[in-house]
């Protein structure tokens, strides 16, 4: 009999890997009956994983770290991360009104590199301050989300204080689009298809992509309950293998149209096929009515070690938690991260397969001339930061 694994996911393009593992038979090949459960909130997924209603989950990379540090407001079980679920897919979208204001305030910044477009936002904020207008509202998807850290990174690099100069709230991904449309927020950072959807509807403009902020930045991960993982080591390996195979399939440019079809189904992401195809084909549209731009790395599922749970990437997220005072400054991340991110589980699972694994579990992030550049692809922060945290 096949081993049953229940996996919770949120309807986003990056749920592709588990969805493909089931739809294309990769889970079955590993003798796994993969049951996928669609959830509308990150808190619900985390709690159901903790309380044993799921064995596995599509998670924001920050959630398992926050849970380990006791930041979840409840005594959650420890969660381990044996693999990452791809890269890319986020963007910062602003309302068309705010986009116009940014364009008028600083046309040069809006023509320059997208990672620096917040300089125009800074001017809008300064104008509002001078006029005594209320501050702008932005949304991200969760307090411990890469989206929150990316939005803050982008703002802070332009001299905006994300805690004082704007209001940053949290809205679950499936509700983002309506919030922008109805004018409840002026902008947001969320994963696809919720940016592309706003552009297709003429309600929003993408002003920066995840890649523009940090091209190698981590995104979703596979989370497993630690006690379940400890008790089922072979099943963990089989699950990781099935998901790595699914990632390899999803990464092929030739499979992306089929992938868009699969994800467009109501049980999966349930967004329009055209919206998903634009993003998955690496041809996103940034502004309503304009032709798409060419971005082959918009969604990366497998290449560039996109499934490897790099300790240095977990560490970067932990450092952002410190930066924005979510955790005490003396938190020992060097000790905590290797308990959560588990490249050893990944290495065990793919041993003997033709899967490229890096030599070390961590690397210097953001160095354009790093020796492993061919393995990991483009790696640059918008402000050319070099992030080095040894393990």
Partner 1 sequence: MVKLEEFNILVIDENPDRAAIVERGLVESGYTRVARIGTSHNLVERIQALAPDIIIIDLENPDRDTLEQMFQVSRAIARPIAMFVDQSDASMIHEAVSAGVSAYVVDGLRQDRIRPIVEMAISRFNVFDQLRRERDEAQAKLNERKLIERAKGILMKEKGLSEEDSYALLRKNAMKQNRKIYEIAQSVITAFQLEF
Residues between 180 and 209 with contacts to partner 1, criterion CB under 8 A: 182, 184
**Which of 72, 117, 217, 312 is the binder for partner 1 (CB under 8 A)?**
72
E strands of 155-313, at which residues? 167-170, 187-191, 204-209, 220-225, 299-300
**Stretch near partner 1 under the rule CB under 8 A, chosen from 37-45, 152-160, 204-212, 286-294:** 37-45
CB burial string 88-115: b at 16+ within 10 A, e below: bbbbbbbbbebbebbbebbeebbeeebb
Q: Does 318 bind partner 1 (CB under 8 A)?
A: no
CB of 128 to partner 1, least distance (A): 19
49 binds partner 1 (CB under 8 A): no
234-293 residues near partner 1, rule: CB under 8 A: none
Rounded distance, CA 66 to CA 49, Å?
A: 14
End-to-end CA distance of the chain: 41
Exactly one of 6, 48, 123, 283 binds partner 1 (CB under 8 A); that residue is 48
Region of 19 on the Ramachandran plot (φ > 0 left; ψ -120 to 50 alpha; else beta): alpha
- When asked if residue 328 is in the footprint of partner 1 (CB under 8 A), the reply is no
- How many other CB atoms are there within 10 angstroms of residue 360's CB atom? 12
Binding segment (CB under 8 A) for partner 1, from list 168-176, 195-203, 261-269, 278-286: 168-176
Q: Is 40 in the site for partner 1 (CB under 8 A)?
A: yes
Q: Which stretch binds partner 1 (CB under 8 A): 17-25, 172-180, 343-351, 368-376?
A: 172-180
Query: Least Å distance between CB 135 and partner 1?
Result: 13
Q: Return the closest-CA partner of residue 221 out of 370, 69, 66, 105.
A: 66
Q: What span, in angstroms and rounded, lies between the C-alpha atoms of 51 and 76?
A: 8
Q: How far apart are CA 176 and CA 297, in angstroms?
A: 24
Q: Applying CB under 8 A, which residues contact partner 1? A: 39-44, 47-48, 51, 53, 71-75, 141-143, 169-172, 174-175, 179, 182, 184, 326
């Amino acid at each position: 009999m096949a081993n049953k694994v229940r996996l919770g996911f949120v309807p986003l393009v990056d749920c592709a890997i588990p969805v493909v593992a089931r739809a294309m038979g990769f889970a079955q090949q590993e003798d796994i009956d993969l049951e996928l459960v669609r959830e509308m909130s990150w808190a619900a997924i985390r709690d159901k994983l903790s309380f044993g209603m799921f064995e596995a989950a599509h998670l924001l990379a920050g959630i398992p770290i926050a849970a380990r540090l006791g930041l979840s407001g409840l005594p959650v079980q420890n969660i381990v991360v044996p693999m990452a679920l791809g890269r890319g897919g986020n963007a910062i979208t602003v309302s068309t009104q705010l986009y116009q204001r940014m364009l008028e305030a600083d046309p040069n910044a809006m023509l320059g590199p997208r990672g620096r477009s917040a300089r125009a936002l800074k001017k809008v904020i300064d104008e509002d301050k001078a006029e005594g207008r209320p501050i702008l509202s932005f949304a991200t998807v969760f307090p411990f989300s890469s989206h929150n850290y990316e939005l803050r990174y982008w703002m802070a690099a332009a001299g905006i204080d994300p805690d004082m100069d704007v209001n940053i709230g949290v809205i679950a991904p499936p509700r983002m689009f309506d919030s922008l449309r109805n004018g409840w927020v002026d902008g947001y950072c969320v994963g696809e298809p919720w940016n592309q959807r706003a552009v297709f509807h003429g309600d929003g403009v993408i002003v920066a992509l995840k890649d523009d902020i940090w091209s190698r930045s981590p995104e979703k991960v596979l989370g497993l309950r630690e006690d379940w993982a400890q008790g089922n080591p072979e099943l963990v390996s089989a699950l990781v293998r099935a998901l790595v195979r699914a990632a390899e399939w999803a990464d092929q440019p030739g499979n992306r149209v089929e992938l868009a079809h699969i994800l467009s189904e109501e049980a999966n992401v349930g967004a329009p096929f055209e919206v998903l195809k634009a993003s998955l084909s690496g041809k996103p549209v940034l502004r309503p009515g304009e032709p798409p731009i060419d971005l082959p790395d918009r969604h990366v599922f497998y290449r560039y070690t996109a499934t490897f749970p790099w300790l240095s990437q977990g560490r970067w997220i932990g450092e952002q938690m410190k930066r924005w005072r979510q955790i005490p400054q003396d938190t020992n991340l060097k000790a905590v991260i290797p308990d959560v991110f588990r490249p050893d589980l990944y290495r065990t699972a793919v041993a003997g397969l033709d899967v490229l694994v890096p030599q070390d579990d961590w690397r210097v992030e953001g160095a354009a001339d790093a020796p492993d550049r061919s393995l990991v692809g483009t790696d640059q922060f918008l402000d050319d930061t070099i992030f080095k945290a040894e393990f």
